[in-house]
Amino acid sequence: MKIILRADDLGISEGVNYGIFKAVYDGMVSCVGLMPNMESARHGYDLIKDLDICLGQHTNICLGKPVSDPLKIPSLVNENGEFYISREINHRQQDTVDILECELEIEAQLQRFIEITGKKPEYFEGHAVFSKNYFQALKNVAKRYHLFYDHPMDENWQKQYHIQSLDYFSLDDRGLYDPYQYFESQLPNIQKNECSLVVFHPGFLDQYILKHSSYTLIRPMECAFLCSQWLKDWLLKHHIEIVDFRNYQKE
């Protein structure tokens, strides 16, 4: 049995960066996604660059400013030249994301990723937007640059790589869930899957997150869980091996 523990949102804020660093250094995270367009992206990379971690691009078209010229991507930005937020994009009745404009921004973020890290991402996926056009643009750019595209919601992708996402958890009125109970409930799925994937958003809170993100209390909670002795003992008890996307890149 194998499992990938992915941490998203490196670079979204300094507080989240410190939490992700702890979740890698003291915890069980095996993959981390960097948001190249964010102001704290370089700060986040500097924290984790010397750790043995699979580092991917967590492409972002719904928070902050684009890397490319806003005038060239009008379907993605508002009158201030900033990205439309995910809630607005996901609730539109039509998919308004222009594929070619999206590819332009994705490629610009890829170049920023390489500028920051000195290398290509070890996996490639997107943040918080559920648009078919967005997914197609990500897939197109990944193919063009020979990148490992991570799309666990796609059944064909799951079959190709034999990686299954675990069931989504339900958040309570505080935006929290019980990660210990969740893992116990998902044990049968982990046992039947060749490899399972769980996505987390560990981090510490700062003013940027409190103002711009719907994920607040969940971040330090998940950070504590990922660093817990309970999780380490639980994985060992059930003979579950932690792997990352580097195990699948050449398949």
Active site residues: 8
3 by DSSP, 3-state: which?
Answer: strand
DSSP state letter for 181 = H
Cβ contact 104:22 at 8 Å: no
Rounded alpha-carbon distances, angstroms, from residue 114 to 79, 180, 215: 29, 37, 28
- SS3 of residue 57 by DSSP: strand
Determine how many CB atoms are found less than 10 A away from the CB of residue 90.
13
DSSP string, 130-154: --HHHHHHHHHHHHHTT--B--TT-
DSSP class of residue 188 equals H
The β-bridge partners of 200 are 7
| C-alpha radius of gyration, the chain, whole number | 17
